[in-house]
Amino acid sequence: MAIDARHVTKTFANFPALRDVSLRVDDGELIALLGPSGSGKTTLLRIIAGLDSPDVNSKTEVLVNGDDISRQPASQRRVGFVFQHYALFRHMTVFENVAFGLRVRPRKQRLPERDLRHKVNELLELIQLVRWSSHYPSQLSGGQRQRVALARALAIEPTVLLLDEPFGALDAKVRQELRRWLRTLHQRIPVTSVLVTHDQEEALEVADRVVIMNQGRIEQSGTPDEVFHHPVSEFVVTFLGNVNLFHGRGDSDRTARVFVRPHELEIERQPRNGNAVAARIVRIQSAGPVVRVELSRAESTVEEDSAINVELTHDQYRSLALKSGETVFVKARDARVFVNGTN
């Protein structure tokens, strides 16, 4: 079901966490709320869930499927929520954790025990933890715990699924696996989902649409391709991965700031036109899918970082035969130019 949050405003003791944010998520869409810590993404999620309340005098509205739920208590909203630290009930088995939402229903709506067991077992099959059903959370790995948390949230057949940094506490490999698994799961059960993360790679990989937040506002919203290739602000460029900053010799007195990603730079032995920058190779890291070359430019202005990072393919690296300490020329193939903060 579609989520429509309008004019969400929240202030924590004089700190504006959300400033009049409006967010729409279409039915069945999986979006990522991406931003640094303190950008307001988790607060927005908690307000949609009903765990936090927006400012009293704000015009905040939260609509799910067209119904205003902002006056409803969290327990009535039927929102699936997955916490960063799992928040599994530590004294209950995996089975009972998943069954919890079904057991606390009002007596009249409660399923008969046989149906309940059937339903919980189906969910345990979905997360491939049937064999672990009588184990306790402390006996599971982090990845398994988060899968249980997801099954527990899905058990109540939520109208929307909210995930608060769900993979933040896991190590890199498990994270990668769970991301793919979540993507597949979402194709099977297309419940409207909002994933909060500060990891741009995760957002770009998992989500249909990425919403980038900064200082309590939405900076940009778009498909992963759009935000990555057509960032609307310097913040978005710098947040979505490594980037090199150059100062354009701008026309008139306006300063142009030029952002170039490491893979958009080329290294030449001889400057073929005037735009190349001379730099000395500081370090070469060739273990990995790409070769990372760290250079130090010969001249740099105050604002510019003297370091330049370039990513080359192994083929390019081999044909150039680069060595540390050499002076070479760096040229941009592509760039994003911002004048006074915007393009």
What are the start-end ranges of the H helices in the chain? 41-49, 94-103, 113-126, 142-155, 172-188, 200-206, 224-229, 234-239, 314-320
Tell me the C-alpha distance between 142 and 126, whole Å: 17
CB closer to other proteins, 79 vs 207: 79
- For residues 148 and 129, the answer to whether their CB atoms sit within 8 Å is yes
Q: How far is the CB of 191 from other proteins (least distance, A)?
A: 15
Q: Which residues bind other proteins (CB under 8 A)?
A: 49-51, 73-81, 83, 85, 87-91, 100-101, 104-105, 135-136, 138-139, 149, 152-153, 155-156
Q: How far is the CB of 272 from other proteins (least distance, A)?
A: 59
CB closer to other proteins, 135 vs 247: 135
Q: How far is the CB of 79 from other proteins (least distance, A)?
A: 6
Tell me the C-alpha distance between 243 and 40, whole Å: 24
Among residues 260, 255, 256, which one has the least CA distance to residue 237?
260
CB closer to other proteins, 73 vs 289: 73
Q: How far is the CB of 92 from other proteins (least distance, A)?
A: 8
Tell me the C-alpha distance between 121 and 98, whole Å: 9
Q: Tell me which DSSP letter residue 295 carries.
A: E
Q: How far is CA 75 from the centre of its chain?
A: 27
> How many residues are recorded in the chain?
343
CB closer to other proteins, 140 vs 207: 140
Q: How far is the CB of 153 from other proteins (least distance, A)?
A: 8
Q: How far is the CB of 64 from other proteins (least distance, A)?
A: 14
CB closer to other proteins, 102 vs 260: 102
CB closer to other proteins, 49 vs 196: 49
- For residues 128 and 185, the answer to whether their CB atoms sit within 8 Å is no
What are the start-end ranges of the H helices in 73-112? 94-103
Q: In what order do the strands lie in the sheet with 67-68?
A: 15-25, 3-12, 61-64, 67-68
Q: How far is the CB of 144 from other proteins (least distance, A)?
A: 14
185 φψ region: left (φ > 0), alpha (ψ -120 to 50), beta (else): alpha
Q: How far is the CB of 49 from other proteins (least distance, A)?
A: 6
CB closer to other proteins, 25 vs 79: 79
CB closer to other proteins, 7 vs 85: 85
